[in-house]
A and B are shown apart, each in its own frame.
Chain A
């Protein structure tokens, strides 16, 4: 099960083949849910679940899906899973589901999910597809958590809703950066992450 190849499936998307910073997929929700860490974390878990399970299901069905409606079939699977996640969040973790509000539903439009179904699950075995889903979901989640960490710290002065910037700083003239709360800053932080990542991993730099 956890052969070298399979571990590569899990680990690659977290760094070398990260869906956000390398493939530039799923940027839209990375901007939206990263204002605070807690919703970003639950969002990351939800995406991991949806990508992994939909990859698994599509991979099971892959030989029976008619080519001409495969995108529709993929969408139906993703949408159903997202609805299930949403319903469970509402029933068991009501508070978190309130915080995430529309963004859970928007997992359906997350390009990573469909991208993995098309690129991987349609041509690989269920087990491998499942691992690939977890890897990609985690790669997405890792970026979400990094971005939300900086946005929450500088935008609200908190981490996981706990105040970390001492009151004395505020009295000395420090103030929270309101720009951090706005979506453009998420893009800039993602840009910085891409910069750092490519600085460390030169293979990722485009040749031309």
Chain B
């Protein structure tokens, strides 16, 4: 057949596309369970990182079950909703929903020293894509004991620094309520925050990511606010 005829080109393209589609789908189906498990494990690892628990890469699940004694889902009124696995909650969908319909996961860890720690889940936008994280509060539901952030596609070396321990440890000890008990969230600010206990230093060269992080903290803390206030005392 003439290789430049329309018929040949047409048959060639159809065959090529079908073969490629088959190969790609089978690879995707074959690898999906592994990828999903990676994502679940990652969630558990992130939660453990937020409360600064060391874990061995191979028994994340065991360590998670050992420390996270309670996990449940709440609405923005701070009431528990039964029957939903908090690990299955996709915050991206929740943020799109109207506030009344949002569901937020809460994890409660019992630390080695017997203290309780509340872990909340965060989701927002950075410069190139989504950013997310977990922040753990002390039993007083005011002081941060640890934070963990991650991102999909922030610039390596710049915005991507939010996922480094060096940046995250700045959050420890900061408080989200001021002396008058008003909610102030945590500011992520340029140019040296000094002793401000409601703010951390932003990342140089990562301004948009830093601002995104600040907005994410404010938005998600606000959604948890009723729950936090109810359980504060």
A80 CA to B23 CA, complexed, in Å: 9
Q: Is the CB of B34 within 8 A of A92?
A: yes
Cβ 8 A contact of B156, one of A33, A65, A67: A33
Q: Is the CB of B152 within 8 A of A101?
A: yes
Q: Is the CB of A155 within 8 A of B157?
A: yes
Shortest C-beta distance, A87 to chain B (Å), equals 5
Stretch of B7-15, B70-78, B93-101 on the interface side: B7-15
A98 CA to B150 CA, complexed, in Å: 10
Q: Is the CB of A87 within 8 A of B157?
A: no
Q: Is the CB of A84 within 8 A of B4?
A: no
Known contacts A80-B20, A94-B38, A102-B128; is-contact A66 B156 (Cβ 8 Å): no
The tally of residues in B whose CB lies under 8 Å from a CB in A reads: 30
Q: Which applies to chain A's interface (DSSP): helix, strand, loop or mixed?
A: helix
A residues less than 8 Å from B16 (CB atoms): 73, 76
Q: What are 26 A-B contacts with C-beta separation under 8 Å? A: A33-B156, A35-B156, A64-B3, A65-B12, A66-B3, A66-B8, A67-B3, A73-B16, A76-B17, A80-B23, A80-B24, A83-B24, A84-B23, A88-B31, A90-B31, A94-B35, A99-B156, A99-B160, A101-B152, A101-B153, A102-B129, A178-B204, A181-B157, A181-B158, A181-B205, A182-B205
B residues less than 8 Å from A94 (CB atoms): 35, 38, 42
Q: Does A202 contact B (CB under 8 A)?
A: no
Q: Which applies to chain B's interface (DSSP): helix, strand, loop or mixed?
A: helix
A73 CA to B13 CA, complexed, in Å: 8
Q: Is the CB of A68 within 8 A of B4?
A: yes
Q: Does A116 contact B (CB under 8 A)?
A: no
Contact residues of B between 150 and 167, Cβ < 8 Å to A:
150, 152-153, 155-158, 160
Known contacts A39-B156, A101-B153; is-contact A91 B24 (Cβ 8 Å): no
A181 CA to B17 CA, complexed, in Å: 41
Shortest C-beta distance, A123 to chain B (Å), equals 16
Shortest C-beta distance, A124 to chain B (Å), equals 19
A162 CA to B221 CA, complexed, in Å: 35
Known contacts A33-B156, A156-B157, A181-B205; is-contact A84 B8 (Cβ 8 Å): no
Known contacts A72-B13, A156-B157, A182-B205; is-contact A87 B4 (Cβ 8 Å): no
A68 CA to B28 CA, complexed, in Å: 31
Q: Is the CB of A69 within 8 A of B35?
A: no
A residues less than 8 Å from B158 (CB atoms): 181
Interface string of A59-95 (1 = CB under 8 A from B): 0000011111100110010001001100110111010
A66 CA to B14 CA, complexed, in Å: 13
A68 CA to B8 CA, complexed, in Å: 11
Shortest C-beta distance, B60 to chain A (Å), equals 12
Known contacts A91-B31, A102-B128; is-contact A76 B20 (Cβ 8 Å): yes
A200 CA to B35 CA, complexed, in Å: 47
A52 CA to B15 CA, complexed, in Å: 23
Shortest C-beta distance, A57 to chain B (Å), equals 11
Q: Which residue of B lies closest to A152 (CB)?
A: B157
Q: Is the CB of B31 within 8 A of A66?
A: no
Pick from B156, B160, B205 the residue with the most CB of A within 10 Å: B156
Q: Is the CB of B38 within 8 A of A66?
A: no
Shortest C-beta distance, B10 to chain A (Å), equals 10
B residues less than 8 Å from A35 (CB atoms): 155-157
Q: Which residue of B lies closest to A67 (CB)?
A: B4
